[in-house]
Amino acid sequence: MTFLSVLLQAPAGSPNSMVWNIVLWVGIFVVFYFFMIRPQQKKQKDQKGFIENLKKGDDVVTIGGLHGKVYSVEGTTVTLEVDRGLKLTFEKTAISREASAKTAS
């Protein structure tokens, strides 16, 4: 008999059953971390880097869906030129993505 088959056949209250349950929960947490938490942290890090590196001339989209070209960046605000002569000021955090970036379908 293999060790795994002994663990699977262990009675409910035995120490082997408890060890198996702990291993199962640790495995679930590891899978959850690598498929849910880690990608979200990477996405947040990439977004923060994008916002910090905004410069004049970048084509961007705001979280509201407004497309424009960065006219100026001052502190925590960004001025977008959305049409000739029409400039709007936004917080940097309102910039969602680069306009030319491909979106996931």
Give the Å distances, CA to CA, from 81 to 13, 53, 70, 85. Answer: 68, 18, 6, 7
Q: What is the CATH number of the domain that holds 94?
A: 2.30.30
Do 81 and 34 lie in one domain? The reply is: no
What DSSP element (H or E) covers 44? helix 38-52
Based on the fold, state whether residues 43 and 82 are members of the same structural domain. no
Provide the token pair at 104. Answer: 């996931």
Tokens matching residue 5: 């088959």
* 7 lies in the same domain as 48: yes
Q: Do 6 and 42 sit in the same domain of this protein?
A: yes
2 plus 42 within the same structural domain: yes
What's the pLDDT tens digit per position in 58-88?
A: 999 999 999 999 999 998 999 999 999 899 9
**pLDDT 10s digits, 18-74:** 888 999 999 999 999 999 999 999 999 999 999 999 999 999 999 999 999 999 999
Q: Is the pTM of this model over 0.85?
A: no
Expressed as residue numbers, the domain containing 68 is 55-100
